[in-house]
Amino acid sequence: MARPALARVDLDALRHNYRLAKRLAPGARAVAVVKANAYGHGAVAVARALAAEADAFGVACIEEALELRAAGVANPVLLLEGVFEASELALAAEQRLWVVVHCAEQLQWITQARLAAPLQVWLKMDSGMHRVGFAPTDYRAAHAALAASPNVESLVLMTHYARADETACAATARQREVFEAATAGLAGARCANNSAGIMAWPAADAWIRPGMMLYGASPLDVEDGRDLQPVMTLSSALISVRDLAAGEPVGYGGGFVTPQAMRIGVVAMGYGDGYPRNAPAGTPVMVGGRRTRLVGRVSMDMLTLDLGGLDSPRVGDPVELWGRHVRLAEVAAACATIPYELVTRMPARVPRRYEGSTGP
């Protein structure tokens, strides 16, 4: 019998979330972001599930784009960090990839290249995040150089917000003002909003870039009532049930000591499966349809739960670590991290099972 650790991926929920992003930005086209193996959900399976609807896909690098092409995904694919060396441009043209240009070196590479076909270029501005992108004062010159190049088929003007998830922070509005001022009168469609921007800072841009919201977790710092549906359910099962007396240590280091006689459950799930090692006692878990809590230190292959108050728990009972009943954001908050980190670091050791219809 197979080890019960499993990540179930609901493709119907994925499509629901994509359609929600589109509804929140009426008339906009969407780059569905599938970088980092579709945030741990499986890039090929996710892209195939969205292929009939997605206007484009977004990846971090050409290797991720080539994986999609090898799997038969024909939609436009945007290299969100652009190319890392000039030689990649020929392959980008051959594979009909779109490229971000965010620095002087990339600008020089593309204007000096000899390409078989021109590229769609997304020209990135640093409007205040100060990570990558042309400064607003340099943006028009970069735009003019690209517009004059035979290697450029069309231009999209883009930026990225640093604090769009902070709904009460004025930084996003200031970045928007910088972006609009610096692009005033320039030809090309606009794109600024990622998931947080789509949900909290609506704009009449031609393109949006939904990422985390596709996978059913809100990126915002406040509860959001819109109907995002969790896409991944991380599950396993009890592999041991044991009764301990008061004063007994549980797990490595003995950090948790039973305050009274307790029934403890052991689950086939650990940090080797991507579950966070730093998850503290009290992190929510669902066993057999009832919520309980983590106790003791998470180890590589196992973790331990408080089974008090559960009716006759037994080996084989299903356990939900996160999903529809234990929200990913709850686990992330307990572990002082963000949902993005939890799903993107899930290893191949955990099988993905795809559920729901495979087509639109």
User: Which amino acid is present at 252?
Assistant: Y
**Coil, strand or helix at 257:** strand
Cα 240 versus chain centre, distance? 33
The CB density around residue 349, as the number of other CB atoms within 10 Å, is 11
Phi-psi region of 343 (alpha: psi -120 to 50; beta: other; left: phi over 0): alpha
C-alpha angle 339-56-149 in degrees, rounded to nearest 5:
120
**Active-site annotation holds for 35:** yes
Residue 349 bridge partners (DSSP): none
Write down the catalytic residue from 22, 39, 215, 252: 252
Per annotation, catalytic residue among 35, 161, 275, 340: 35
The three-class DSSP label of residue 56 is: strand
Q: What are phi and psi of 349, to 5 degrees?
A: -55, -30
Q: 3-class DSSP state for residue 102?
A: coil
Asked if 256 and 295 count as a contact pair (C-beta separation under 8 A), the reply is: yes
Cβ-based neighbours of 173, under 8 Å, separated by 6 or more: 201
18 is catalytic: no
Count of CB atoms within 10 A of residue 314's CB? 11
DSSP, collapsed to helix, strand or coil, labels residue 252 as helix
Structure tokens at 296: 């003791």
For the beta carbon of residue 17, count every other beta carbon within 10 angstroms.
Answer: 27
Name residue 264's beta-bridge partners: 242, 306
Which tokens belong to 5?
């650790």
180: Cα within 13 Å, side-chain hemisphere: 9
* Beta carbons of 94 and 116 less than 8 angstroms apart: yes
Q: Do 335 and 280 contact (CB within 8 A), yes or no?
A: yes
For the purposes of burial, counting CB atoms within 10 Å of the CB of 225, is it exposed (0-12), middle (13-18) or buried (19 or more)?
exposed
By annotation, the residues acting in catalysis are 35, 252
